[in-house]
Amino acid sequence: MIAIESMTFTQPLSHRLMLWLPLLLSVWLLPAQETPQLRGHRFLTLNTIVRVNQIEVTRTMNLGRDESEIHTTAEARIFRDAISRSWPGGRITWAFSWRALHDERPSYRELRKQIATYQKELGDEITFIPGAYFSNMHNTRDQVNKDLHEGLKRVTTMVGNNYRPKSIVAGFLSAENLRYLAEVEGIHVCQGTIWSQYAVDNGDGEGSINYPYYPSREHFCKPAREKSDFIDCVNLDGWTVDFLCARIPGSRLVEGERWRSRQGVGPIETLLDMGTERGCKAMLATTACHYDDGFRRNGFAWVTCGWEMGLVEARKIYGYGGRNGMDGLALWLKEIRQRWPETNLITQGEFGELWRKEFPDNKRIDYRFQHRGCGIRASEENKEIRWFMNRDFRLALLRVDNNPHTEKVIDFTRYDLPAAEPRETEAGKFARNWSLMNRINQKGLRPQDQPVLLRQLPAEEQQMIRQHYPELFTDSADAGKSK
């Protein structure tokens, strides 16, 4: 390398060019550092939760088991090494609970120190999770804001060098807390919705769209439609699920097998429940829905998974048939790289910021998906579902045996209607159901949720759909219209 400061400009121009030429050539010949763009690319985001207890709903209360024995440096290393071997260069997101950030036992001090090295050496994102997925179900909005502020400060202290994450993991997060993240904390990406979650465990939040969107100030499930309603914090789903399975409220027993609404790419409903081979097949079927057909329809594709660190050795506490899912995780990641080799495994914050560059608001959101069942449990192979999602509504059409005459509307959630989140009451009495359900909901729980033909919707709603998707009223999908 030439020491530029030693060069004198009294030398002839030709001599100076000869001195500069090797430096210029060396820079020119460096490999280009491509910055991935959203369009034309496939993305995978993977986040993991580091905690002490299974469900830490407040700073001082939890609803689950003590998992401290399976939150050690050994489990973190097993998990991270499995990802590094299967996807060299991939970057993931680690979210620490309040207790995991403050536990002063030697095991947790060592764990925090080790995971901090993953940010420095591997480029991983380290952030905070308030309330272990269900913060608003157990805390006031003001308390959640305090937790966010102090938790983020603790993460900065833990990692050092004034580190600041680009995103938050939250499970569910209210509109007011999303607004606080953007306007006060300067964080514009949040995993703040769990698409289709209803009657599963400790909270409900059915009604959003499943790809990124800017939420409304009225409700975190509702995309903002006007500038006055806009929150500049991209809301992300936490687990990509099978669209057909998602119709189930919770789970149900069918012919001796548990059909679960959360079956998709998450390990609990697949690898830990079904075993490696069958579980991975279900995961890949969900992945392919987005990376193949979804990619062609939407111009980019995204799959996301929350893989709690406690699941690495959860068999020690919860059984899971003696399985820990690590073989399945490696197999899933390797298969993705083989089938879709250009896929980018990046942090949640990186992905959210890429989306923000492409979409400054919700005006151009138009997500379309078509999925035929893979034949595993609730993903019935004789059924096919089509989803259409934009800032005005989400619409789902279900057909049976590939027969267009059977296609009916199973979900029509309007985002032009007023919406409201649950109001806070006295301490300890909070709502668990934060769902946004209005016209027709895919779970089929209310009398009004009975499937109908598209042309059986009121004329006003048909016109609303026609403005976005006129082809639905002319193609074979509506061949079964009523006379």
- Collapse the DSSP code of 412 into the 3-class scheme (helix H, G, I; strand E, B; otherwise coil) and give the result: strand
Quote the radius of gyration of the chain (alpha carbons, Å): 24
3-class SS of residue 99 = helix
Burial of 185 (0-12, 13-18, 19+ CB in 10 A): middle
pLDDT of residue 260: 97
- The domains found in the chain, sorted by start residue, are 42-358 (3.20.20.510), 367-478 (3.30.1120.110)
Q: What is the token pair recorded at 4?
A: 């530029």
What is the distance between the alpha carbons of residues 202 and 100, in angstroms, rounded to a whole number? 20
Distance CA 385, CA 376 (A): 15
Q: How far, in Å, CA of 398 to CA of 411, rounded?
A: 9
Between CA 386 and CA 369 the distance in angstroms is 6
Helix crossing, 276-288 with 326-339: angle to 10°?
Answer: 40
C-alpha distances out from residue 237 to 173, 213, 333, Å: 11, 10, 20
290: helix, coil or strand?
helix
d(CA 213, CA 355): 9
- Supply the pLDDT for residue 437: 98
What tokens were used for 195? Answer: 């698409």
Q: Please write the tens of the pLDDT for every residue from 354-377.
A: 999 999 999 999 999 999 999 999
pLDDT at 427: 65
Query: pLDDT at position 35, please?
Result: 54
Question: In this predicted structure, what is the pLDDT of residue 476?
Answer: 45
**Low-confidence spans in the chain with pLDDT less than 50:** 1-33, 476-483
User: pTM score > 0.75 for this model?
Assistant: yes
Cite the beta strand spans of 9-97 per DSSP E. 42-50, 93-96
pLDDT of residue 3: 33
Query: Beta strands of 374-415 (E only): which ranges?
Result: 383-390, 393-400, 403-414
- On whether the CB atoms of residues 100 and 108 are closer than 8 A, the answer is yes
3-state secondary structure at position 299? coil
Could you tell me if 367 and 209 are in contact, meaning their C-beta atoms sit under 8 angstroms apart? yes
